[in-house]
Amino acid sequence: AQSVTQPDIHITVSEGASLELRCNYSYGATPYLFWYVQSPGQGLQLLLKYFSGDTLVQGIKGFEAEFKRSQSSFNLRKPSVHWSDAAEYFCAVGDSGGYQKVTFGTGTKLQVIP
């Protein structure tokens, strides 16, 4: 069965600092990987996805993620965090076809301090 581990429950960074959120997955075949963000009172918004091809994926809001098969990881990065990035971030893996059923991690809450 597929699974996702986000080892950091809560992260605090200073505005302008770089950010890396960790994600490890378990999946038997080529994974379909996602990062979602949930801001307070909002739904889950897709930041980026990896299905195949270039292992460095660019997303919205200046985020990127790198797929590393050897480490079963799909870490999310941003070079300079803005106060508006404070939210909860979810890594997820999809089953065959990518979208039929998605398994989420437990989420990482990001706090941004001035």
Partner 1 sequence: EAGVTQFPSHSVIEKGQTVTLRCDPISGHDNLYWYRRVMGKEIKFLLHFVKESKQDESGMPNNRFLAERTGGTYSTLKVQPAELEDSGVYFCASRPTGEGYTFGSGTRLTVV
Helix, strand or coil, per DSSP, at residue 101: coil
Provide, rounded to whole angstroms, the least separation between the CB of residue 53 and partner 1.
16
Residues 6+ apart with CB under 8 A from 43: none
**Integer Cα distance of 49 and 101 in angstroms:** 15
Could you tell me how many residues of this chain bind partner 1 (CB under 8 A)?
Answer: 21
Binding mask 42-81 for partner 1 (x = CB under 8 A): xxxxx--x--------------------------------
Where does residue 111 fall: left (phi above 0), alpha (psi -120 to 50 degrees), or beta otherwise?
A: beta
Which of these ranges, 16-24, 36-44, 58-66, 78-86, lies near partner 1 under the rule CB under 8 A? 36-44
**Integer Cα distance of 40 and 81 in angstroms:** 17
Provide, rounded to whole angstroms, the least separation between the CB of residue 109 and partner 1.
10
Q: Which residues bind partner 1 (CB under 8 A)?
A: 4, 36, 41-46, 49, 90, 92, 98-107
